[in-house]
Amino acid sequence: MLVVMDKAATPEMIQRVRDEIDRMGFSAQTLADPHRLAIGITGYNGGGSVDRLETLEGVREIIRFGDQYTLASRATKQEDTIVDIDGVEIGGETFPVLAGPCSVESRDQAMAIAEIVAEEGVRIFRGGAFKPRTSPYSFQGLGIKGLEILREVREQFNLRIITEAMDTETIDLVAETADIVQIGSRNMQNYSLLKKAGKLNKPVLLKRGMSATVNEFLLAAEYILAGGNSRVILCERGLRMVANRTGNMLDLSSIIEIKRLSHLPIIADPSHASEQRYKVAPLSRAALAVGAHGLLVEVHNEPEKALSDGPQALPPNEFKQLMVELRRLSVALNKELP
Amino acid sequence: MLVVMDKAATPEMIQRVRDEIDRMGFSAQTLADPHRLAIGITGYNGGGSVDRLETLEGVREIIRFGDQYTLASRATKQEDTIVDIDGVEIGGETFPVLAGPCSVESRDQAMAIAEIVAEEGVRIFRGGAFKPRTSPYSFQGLGIKGLEILREVREQFNLRIITEAMDTETIDLVAETADIVQIGSRNMQNYSLLKKAGKLNKPVLLKRGMSATVNEFLLAAEYILAGGNSRVILCERGLRMVANRTGNMLDLSSIIEIKRLSHLPIIADPSHASEQRYKVAPLSRAALAVGAHGLLVEVHNEPEKALSDGPQALPPNEFKQLMVELRRLSVALNKELP
Amino acid sequence: MLVVMDKAATPEMIQRVRDEIDRMGFSAQTLADPHRLAIGITGYNGGGSVDRLETLEGVREIIRFGDQYTLASRATKQEDTIVDIDGVEIGGETFPVLAGPCSVESRDQAMAIAEIVAEEGVRIFRGGAFKPRTSPYSFQGLGIKGLEILREVREQFNLRIITEAMDTETIDLVAETADIVQIGSRNMQNYSLLKKAGKLNKPVLLKRGMSATVNEFLLAAEYILAGGNSRVILCERGLRMVANRTGNMLDLSSIIEIKRLSHLPIIADPSHASEQRYKVAPLSRAALAVGAHGLLVEVHNEPEKALSDGPQALPPNEFKQLMVELRRLSVALNKELP
Amino acid sequence: MLVVMDKAATPEMIQRVRDEIDRMGFSAQTLADPHRLAIGITGYNGGGSVDRLETLEGVREIIRFGDQYTLASRATKQEDTIVDIDGVEIGGETFPVLAGPCSVESRDQAMAIAEIVAEEGVRIFRGGAFKPRTSPYSFQGLGIKGLEILREVREQFNLRIITEAMDTETIDLVAETADIVQIGSRNMQNYSLLKKAGKLNKPVLLKRGMSATVNEFLLAAEYILAGGNSRVILCERGLRMVANRTGNMLDLSSIIEIKRLSHLPIIADPSHASEQRYKVAPLSRAALAVGAHGLLVEVHNEPEKALSDGPQALPPNEFKQLMVELRRLSVALNKELP
């Protein structure tokens, strides 16, 4: 921690900051240069009480250089975390593709899509039963009926299931069906939900919020880890952008950064980052090339009839083609598609 | 709705889009110019099914020009909504200042601050009992104990209470104490919580998400209105910025826009938009001048000891000074501070 | 300056950074806490050579806490700079309104608008002769003919003139006519132009870039000051936003911040920040209330015929009404409209 | 073009808009739905005069669905533009790597780096002689002396040269030396410079501005094309981000989009998008996988001594390793590294 003083701070103001740091039981060290004076704090343990230094006269800002997450940090655990989903590993050197529709719309639709993706070697099926929608008048998902269909998909095609939990009241219900419980972007800072996810006996996939920093993302993961659930998978899904009229922007750079800062696996969602289908395959290739631990892709047997996100869902032929490309690319990158 | 075609779209592709629109029961009209061809849709009623047009060959993008919210729209209700909080009006030409600490930290702290703000004419007291915090290791609020203290504040100082509900499990509990139930920025798209808020028999203050568009903000309000609760107060609290290293940016421009689009009252939170105390008073004056319906301000009797958000809380003397400035300014603006 | 080390940095890596700092002639101080180790540098004088520390093994990032501008800093000059434009002061406690059309379109148009604004007490006339336009096919300004018209406006109405210089080749020509030479947002980091502006014997108004940080903005001003021209006026004109589909967002918060960091006057441009006329008056009031040193407003006698920016220009009656509001507000704020 | 009306617009307001459109010689078509009424314009030719419709009463906004660029558009020219740099092609299915230091610092440095990159098969050498720097006190490049050194590099190693032009006064001088004249991000909307670049008899590489939209980027290219220079190469170099504290974010998604909208080649600059070296190789692989037409990479023989951008420059061993990876990957992608 560093307390940066105003240029106009008097020696008395500086001394008062030093005294306050001493009083808190930390050690103060002055860093001076012609441009600015700052006071470093040694022994700081991350507590919020140091915030109050910012209220002292003459203080310009406080700079924190330590991360506030611990369990999610690679400093705490050097080796990559590999989450085992009933025999399918996420993390390490594999590159699993999780695929399926945005929403489960009917038994027939789910079965048809499951068959398509299973044939391509997919082993984890995605499909929403509870859907967070921007408008209250949009299709909100089949709910419990959707979970039933997902259980049938699992049995018939030997696919593991990832599906979203939207609130503390239904997360346990979702976890009964799901092999991976997904927490969506809009709920990344729904701390009550994160705390409940920390108590689950199921892996959790946490999507990054639409304008969340890497630090906030890892702190959200820390909520789950701190609750006792160590099987957390991160998912980058695109940030809201300044300069793009449509769509989000897949922050592939953050995947590199997160792999350095954290031991947790991180996969990419090229579908939500695209909003338009023609971008999905190139972004999928890029995610593999940049080092992501897997993909979450939307596939639909009849995208033009989808009840949600049709424009970004891949039709069967394009999905097949994508899998061919990914397999060829993975060889050149020494990655394995399970 | 407007379906914009690719420049390279063939007549066959264009015809297929027209046929599809006909099939849906809407009417298609072609708009051609040397730069691009687009197909307008008449009779569109806002359903999601039109998304599928975006998957047809030759379609570049779909532009929606109608808003998707109805109950929140000024087209539905011309006159300003005024929410009555037990005799204090929010909306219309008044400018109430809602003030108090970020968190209720103790009985003594809450009472001391309540006395200070009540003396300045404040009639609605803010204070968090359940606190959403970025880090799981930060102070999370006093919870139920905090609600008890808030009830005592109400009785002793005749102050109405605004406090935050964080999840569907505790919102009813919070609503027993609160005169206004607050839904925070991080929960703006927590739709399960919004639906529950729609069933409350208490006014709800909804804060704008950190990167939410005006449309998303009004659609979140629509969730509450559609549930049957018409007493919704909006709150602009600053957006995450590209070009600022510290702090958010109070989007005063959106207050002007929202007053035009919606009949709902909208107040400003200059404290969270500042993150540093010296900005609070100027931003408060600006919010009054721009036409906001009120303020939500953080005040602390001992900011340097605050357990959360100390750097942005106003100490008593600065809050008194702010109220003097606001009263003088309100006269020049024909506004009334209750 | 602070060199933040990776958590996994070895003692050898840390020592190497310390050695390197010593070798550069600065002094290294270690700041350790359970989360991270950092090395503070004392005696740093702002040179770029310290960048190379970031390339050493084990270094995570370098944090600069000193500003890199000196002449623009309030630490260098405590009192507000007041720029005198032939008897009209910008800076301090006055609030001049600079008004006129976006572009000079014809002699008749310029004269008509000059008459309107002069009647309302405006003493500085704005109007572009050289226009930077996003499309090469848009109206590019009248050029030299526009400058001639502006000189006529000055003579006939005793108005001072502010007009834009777009490049190093024409800036001297523009400066012959202009009482204030404007440098636009798109040229904020056109350093060749800034250097030439530093050699002018005329005041310069520098607009903030569309996504420029406050630090970059003040460093751009520093280029002009370092060239020897101390008469620099800053202008906040709205930032490109994440969450707004249309328009920029006036960063009023930065005006507060800049007044604290720098002695230079800073005015607001509510017209470019609005892009729609109905927002101009409320944002103008807010700019006055927040403490800006003046306004730059677009006025047009026939906005519906304007060759550029018509939608945001105020027609005569709305401009008159705005001036009435500003005068009333300025009394409550102890400001003076010259 | 589409004129969207306010919900509260009266039939008279609507008629006035229709009349105005007729008067302009275009054709008006009404699109009505329960949410909103809009008026489509047919026959619109892109002129600015239609802006004035936005000033009419009852008009909410104007939506343009046609692009304003023509020469840069794939609708005008279907096949990919391939720019030949003295035998090295940029565009199409090749993937040239342009490499060298950020700045030319000395003859020895430039020669040493040229030798390194030439050995790896690089055929185009990058190196700045005129450097745009955020601070006036940073190293500004060797200027003319730098150009001399670059000519020596070309002769000795048979490397083509790409170097930046900063202003209209020196662009001709730069073009005498350069095989490709670079226009930097900060000058993307320096229209005087773009116009001069349009008159050059040399290829121009145009970098995207830090928060420029794809449309603005292509319109900037249109300025050069409209001047008569058809050899334009685009370069994506990272956007300023909301959620990242450090660095820009490489917008790989826009590369996909630009390849669809325009026939111009587009390469990626992973160095400026990284600001930290460890991200350069993964982003380079991702750029190749996403379909970019080449790379612009910073390499330095002694990064820890670089006068600018040392932290992001690759040292020789890492650059060699990157080239190995790219060659392997290019085979899997059917691309050819010249």
pLDDT, tens only, C195-253: 999 999 999 999 999 889 898 999 999 999 999 999 999 999 998 866 555 567 899 99
Token pair listed for C253: 């918060």
pLDDT at A44 over 70: no
D143 has a pLDDT exceeding 80: yes
Which H helix or E strand runs over B32? strand B27-33
Contacts of A29 in chain C (CB under 8 A): 29, 31, 40
Closest Cβ–Cβ partner in C68, C192, C211 for D167: C192
Please say if the pLDDT value at position C22 is more than 70: yes
pLDDT for position A46:
52
- How far A281 CA lies from chain D's nearest CA (Å)? 8
Q: Please determine, for residue D63, whether its predicted confidence score (pLDDT) is greater than 80.
A: no
pLDDT of D310 strictly over 90: no
**Does the pLDDT value for residue A245 go beyond 60?**
no
In this prediction, residues A291-313 reach a mean pLDDT of 89
pLDDT at D321 (0 to 100): 97
DSSP letters, C103-147, are B---HHHHHHHHHHHHHTT--EEE-BSS---SSTTS----THHHH
What percent of chain C stands above pLDDT 90? 62
Q: Is A94 exposed, middle or buried (0-12, 13-18, 19+ CB in 10 A)?
A: middle
Segment C122-148 shows an average pLDDT of 93
- DSSP H helix total and E strand total for chain C: 9, 14
For residue D13, the number of C-alpha atoms closer than 13 Å in the C-beta half-sphere is 18
Question: Where are the extended beta strands (E) located within A65-145?
Answer: 83-85, 88-90, 97-100, 124-126
Cβ B29 vs Cβ B14: under 8 Å: no
Closest C-alpha to A103, from A317, A316, A312: A312
State the ipTM, two decimals.
0.89
Residue C305 identity: K
Which residue in A63, A78, A241 is closest to C65 by CB distance?
A: A63
Higher-pLDDT residue of C110 and A245 is C110
Amino acid at B188: M
pLDDT over 70 (residue A34):
no
Residue D315 DSSP code:
P
Q: Is the predicted pLDDT of residue A30 greater than 80, yes or no?
A: no
**Three-class secondary structure of residue B181 per DSSP:** strand
Contacts of D198 (CB under 8 A, 6+ apart): D223, D224, D225, D226, D227, D228, D229
Return the pLDDT at B299. 96
Give the pLDDT band of residue A213 (cuts 50, 70, 90).
confident
Give the DSSP per-residue string, D229-290: ---EEEEE--B--SS-SSS-B--HHHHHHHHHHB-S-EEE-HHHHHSSGGGHHHHHHHHHHH
SS3 content of chain D, % helix, strand, coil (to 5): 40, 20, 40
* pLDDT value at residue B115: 97
Alpha-carbon distances, residue A278 vs A127, A274, A328, D86, D100 (angstroms): 21, 8, 20, 34, 34
Measured distance CA(B333)–CA(B40) in Å, rounded: 44
Nearest-angstrom CA–CA distance, B13 and B261? 36
Which pLDDT tens digit goes with each residue over A85-123?
999 999 988 999 999 999 999 999 999 999 999 999 999
Cβ contact (<8 Å) for B328 and C332? yes
pLDDT value of position D121: 96
pLDDT of residue A305: 81
pLDDT for residue A4 is more than 90? no
The DSSP symbol for A209 reads P
**3-class secondary structure, B327:** helix
CA–CA dist D297, B27 (Å, integer): 53
| CA gap D174, D105 in Å, rounded | 17
Please report where in the chains the tokens 């981000």 appear, as a residue: D241
Do A42 and C71 contact (CB within 8 A), yes or no? no
CB B153 within 8 A of CB B114: yes
- Helix, strand, coil percentages in chain B from 3-state DSSP, rounded to 5: 35, 20, 40
| pLDDT, position A33 | 63
Q: Are D64 and A245 in contact (CB under 8 A)?
A: no
Are A250 and A273 in contact, with CB atoms under 8 Å apart? yes
Question: Between C77 and D153, whose confidence is greater?
Answer: D153
What phi and psi values does residue D116 have, to the nearest 5 degrees? Answer: -60, -50
Of D31, D33, D66, the CB nearest to B36: D66
| Residue among C290, C293, C331 with most chain B CBs within 10 A, to mutate | C290
Compare B86 and C63 and report the one with higher pLDDT: B86
- Residue A326 pLDDT level (bands cut at 50, 70, 90): very high
Q: Which residues pair with B94 in a beta bridge?
A: B336
Q: How far is CA A88 from the centre of its chain?
A: 19
Q: If you measure CA to CA, which chain C residue comes closest to B283? A: C290
* Residue of D1, D31, D57, D215 to mutate when probing chain B, most B C-beta within 10 A: D31
Smallest CA-to-CA distance from D161 within D113, D207, D228 is with D113
Q: How confident is the model at residue A154 (pLDDT cuts 50, 70, 90)?
A: very high
User: Which residues, 6 or more positions from C161, have their beta carbon under 8 angstroms from its beta carbon?
Assistant: C124, C125, C127, C150, C151, C153, C154, C177, C178, C179, C180
Q: Where are the beta strands (DSSP E) in chain D?
A: 2-5, 27-33, 36-42, 59-63, 83-85, 88-90, 97-100, 124-126, 160-164, 180-183, 204-207, 232-236, 266-268, 295-298
Distance CA A87, CA A90 (A): 10
Are D283 and A253 an interchain contact pair (Cβ–Cβ within 8 Å)? Answer: yes
Judging contacts by C-beta atoms under 8 Å, the chain A residues touching residue D335 are none
Give contacts of B286 with chain C, Cβ < 8 Å: 252, 286-287, 289-290
The structure tokens listed for A48 are: 């919020």
Q: How far apart are the first and last CA of chain D?
A: 44
pLDDT confidence bin for B274, thresholds 50/70/90: confident
Rounded to an integer, the average pLDDT of B256-276 is 91
Give C117 to chain D, closest Cα distance, Å: 20
Rounded to an integer, what distance in angstroms lies between the CA atom of residue C101 and that of residue C121?
Answer: 16
**pLDDT tens-digit series, residues C152-163:** 999 999 999 999
How much is the pLDDT for A92? 86
pLDDT of residue C183: 98
Q: How many other β-carbons are positioned within 10 Å of the β-carbon of residue B124?
A: 24
| DSSP bridge pairs for A266 | A234
What token pair was written down for D72?
């840069």
The pair of structure tokens assigned to B255 is 């207050």
Condensed to tens digits (0 to 9), the pLDDT of residues D18-27 reads: 888 888 777 7
The secondary element (H helix, E strand) that includes residue B206 is strand B204-207
Q: How far apart are CA D72 and CA D93, in angstroms?
A: 19
CB-CB neighbors (< 8 A) of D52 in chain C: 303-306, 310-311
Average pLDDT, chain B: 89
Q: Tokens 């009083």 identify what position?
A: A23
- Between B211, B279, B328, which is nearest C243 by CB? B211
Give Cα B230 to chain centroid, integer Å. 15
Q: Is the pLDDT of residue D242 over 90?
A: no
Q: Would the pLDDT of A172 be above 80?
A: yes
Residue B8 identity = A
DSSP character for D62? E
Query: What's the pLDDT score for residue B30?
Result: 77
- Select the residue of B67, B240, B243 nearest D35 (Cβ to Cβ): B67
- Chain C residues with beta carbon closer than 8 angstroms to that of A243: 240
B84 DSSP β-pair partners: B89
Please check the confidence at residue D333 and state whether its pLDDT lies above 90: yes
**Cβ contact, residue pair A137, B191, below 8 Å:** no
CA distance linking residue A96 with residue A124, whole number of Å: 8
* Selected residue with higher pLDDT from C65 and C11: C11
- Mean per-residue pLDDT for A135-146? 90
**D2 vs B277, which has greater pLDDT?**
B277
Q: How far apart are CA C104 and CA C126, in angstroms?
A: 9
pLDDT digits (tens, 9 = 90+) for B9-21: 888 888 888 888 8
The predicted pLDDT at position D180 comes to 98
pLDDT at position D65 over 90: no
Report how far Cα B249 is from the mean position of its chain's Cα atoms: 14
| Phi, psi at C73, each rounded to 5° | -85, 145
d(CA C12, CA C41): 18
Mean pLDDT over A235-257 rounds to: 81
Query: Taking 80 as the threshold, does the pLDDT of residue C37 lie above it?
Result: no
CA-CA distances (angstroms) from residue D36 to B46, B214, C99, C163, D51? Answer: 10, 17, 35, 41, 20
Neighbours of D1 (CB within 10 A): 23
Per DSSP, the three-state class of C277 is helix
Which of A41-55, C206-220, D4-18, D269-283 shows the lowest mean pLDDT across its residues?
A41-55
Say what the pLDDT of residue D178 is. Answer: 98
Model pLDDT, residue D66: 62
How many CB atoms neighbour CB A45 within 10 A?
Answer: 13
Cβ-Cβ contacts under 8 Å between A and B: the total is 136
Q: Which of C43-47, C240-244, C274-278 has the highest mean pLDDT?
A: C274-278
